[in-house]
A and B are shown apart, each in its own frame.
Chain A
Amino acid sequence: MRLANAYWVQARLGLQAQMQYRVASLFSILGFIIEPVVYLVVWRTIATAQGGAIAGYTADEFVAYYIAWTLVRVTNIGLTPYVWDGRIQQGRINDHLTTPLHLFHRDLASFAGWKPVWIAWWIPLASLLVLVFQPQIRPSLWQILAFFGAVITGFVLRFIVLWVLGLTAFWTTRASALFEIVTTAELLLSGRLVPLELMPPWVQTLANWLPFKWTFQGPIEVVIGKTDAAGTAAMFGYQFLWIAALGVLTAVVWKRAIRRYSAVGS
């Protein structure tokens, strides 16, 4: 109960901070939306040129895929390890260690609090994309609801992945180098660059064993109708499994990290 309350307060603080920078958020989101528009145009062009479909995706499904992509991306932004480099190098983490609320909850809650502002900007931009690119896919109500749910759990999962990655900053001063390697792997193995069906079979197998897929392609497939009810349930299952496993890992690593850490000045 106390934790829920803390989340509520922290999220409201995050929301208010973000409200002050509304225009900044708009520009950032515009920057985010350009990336999938590029992919969309490239793959729609190819699918159309190849008679309407490649690797089981029609030109129209590519359009729907990358438009759904935008909500996934806008929502699944987490704390990047760049912030961790600063927290450790400059000792700013000390402030956080002296509060009773675990830093993980603080970060997660304040990121969650941002989302309403970002999603509020996303709605008109996504509507514009729908108007411009005219996807013909009409998801049913349950698909839309499941999609929103999967986007949220996908955010939590990606947030944990990034957070535990950020903890490596306790051991190395260049956590961001590792971060770049992982984001490259994520780009290729999550369905962010292209739907995984376009990748060679061994890449698809590899992707099945990693968490990334469940933060991008998993939720997207639900809303564009690439999976049925059973597939959707399985997707949620994988998401929760990964959240649980990485949650345990985070707790273990955090304990060790804190034991290792000695504040600047001590």
Chain B
Amino acid sequence: MRAMRLLGTHWRIAAMNELQYRANFFVQLLHSGLSLVTGLIAIWLVFQYTPSLGGWSQPELLIVMGIHIIVGAVLRSFIEPNMRRLMDDVELGTFDYVMTKPVDPQILASIRELRVWHLVDFVLGGLVLGYGMIQLSTTTSALDVVAFGATLLAGVLMVYCVWIMITSTAFRVVRSQEVLNLFEGFYQTGRWPVTIYPVWLRGTLTFVIPLAFAITVPAEALSDRLSAATVVLAMSFAVVIVVVSRAVWRMNLKHYSGASA
């Protein structure tokens, strides 16, 4: 409860800060617009040459793309800026200020930043997703929508856990910036269903960087191909990764030596 109130306060401050720079909205709009256009062109090109890609139709791929943009918006507006700030804090020693507050440091470190303008992608991703749904020939039941919501939330949670594990290694090696760049590279793979990739890459995208759970699985829910077994696997893996990441965080936190120590 208290964490929720803190989140609200931090978001309000962050939003007020960013809303001062209105021109950035147009910069973001341009950026998001261009990547949307290239994404749509790529899908259009694919379907010039084939009626389906690895069993996925055009509307289904639009759903995947919409979810990819929405999860990307969560990443870039919320998860990534917090992780960057955490790394900067560790490098400068200012993480002391987080440690001395009467709140769990992991919670505080994860909610301090919000990049409001990236929320443009929420709208764009939602539009692409909605358009894909309208074009879909199969009907979507209420149960599918519930499964979609649940797997999407679990998937985003898993991605956050992976990030907190990567970032908390900053307590040991200080610079994880390059690892984060690599993560951004991997994120591009999520634009297509992971089922088209070779086994080694699919495995990586499922259990190391869980984009399969965050993007492909929710898309499967909406395109009527999700099995109960996958839902169980996703939920169990979410529980495992939450527990593991918490343990990794605590282990790494012990290595933080502070600015004045």
Contacts and interface: CB of A to CB of B under 8 A. Distances in A.
Interface of A: 23-24, 27-28, 30-32, 34-35, 37-38, 41-42, 45-46, 49-50, 54-55, 132, 174, 177, 180-181, 184, 187-188, 193-194, 198-199
A34 B191 CA distance: 12
Contacts, number: 77
A125 B170 CA distance: 26
Given A30-B182, A30-B185, A174 B49 contact: no
B188 interface: yes
Interface in B187-215: 188-189, 191-192, 196-198, 200-201
A49 B182 contact: no
Given A38-B192, A41-B197, A193 B181 contact: no
A22 to B, nearest CB: 11
Nearest to B197: A41
B37 interface: yes
A42 B192 contact: yes
Contacts of A32: 185
Contacts of B34: 180-181, 184
Given A54-B50, A187-B38, A198-B45, 14 more contacts: A27-B181, A30-B185, A31-B182, A31-B186, A37-B201, A41-B197, A42-B53, A45-B54, A46-B49, A174-B27, A180-B34, A181-B34, A193-B38, A193-B45
A234 to B, nearest CB: 26
A212 to B, nearest CB: 14
9 contacts: A24-B177, A34-B185, A35-B188, A37-B189, A42-B53, A42-B192, A45-B53, A55-B49, A177-B30
A-B pairs with lowest CB-CB distance, top 8: A31-B185, A27-B178, A34-B185, A184-B34, A24-B178, A46-B50, A54-B49, A27-B182
Given A42-B46, A184-B38, A194-B45, A34 B188 contact: yes
Contacts of B46: 42, 46
Taking residues whose C-beta sits less than 8 angstroms from the other chain, chain B's interface range is 20 to 34
Give the residue among A32, A38, A55, A177 with the most B Cβ atoms within 10 A.
Answer: A38
A182 B188 CA distance: 20
A184 B182 contact: no
Nearest to A21: B178
B178 A49 contact: no
B179 interface: yes
Give the residue among B48, B49, B192, B197 with the most A Cβ atoms within 10 A.
Answer: B49
B42 interface: yes
B126 to A, nearest CB: 22
B233 interface: no
Interface string B20-52: 000000010011001001100110011011100
A132 B197 CA distance: 12
A42 B54 CA distance: 9
Nearest to B189: A38
A30 B181 CA distance: 9
Contacts of B186: 31, 34
Contacts of A35: 185, 188
Nearest to B175: A24
Given A23-B178, A45-B196, A132-B198, A38 B41 contact: no
A213 B45 CA distance: 18
